[in-house]
Structure 1
């Protein structure tokens, strides 16, 4: 879900940038960056839990 939201946000940022609206483009990039960060954090958390589960 985070991946889809970040891709849509980047698409919107590109469209806003081409339309000349830098404020909305920057906001869309910021929202996309937050969701990409959350996605990476979740992947690393799940990977760590799986490694702990395999150790037991």
Structure 2
């Protein structure tokens, strides 16, 4: 879900930039970067949980 929101935000940011609406473009890019950050943080968290589960099973 974060990936989809980030892609939509980047596309909106590009469209706003092409329409010379720089404030809206910046806002869309900031939202996209935030959701990319959340996605990366979640991936790292799940990877850590899987590693802990693998260590506990061994």
Moved over 4 A (4+): none
Structure 1: stretches of 5+ with no match in the other structure: none
TM-score (norm 1): 1.00
Match of 2:8 in 1: 8
Structure number with greater Rg is 2
TM-score (norm 2): 0.96
Aligned residue-pair number: 56
Cα RMSD for the two superposed structures = 0.2
In the TM superposition, what is the alpha-carbon distance from 1:13 to its structure 2 partner? 0.2
- Inter-partner Cα distance in structure 2 for 1:14 and 1:22: 10
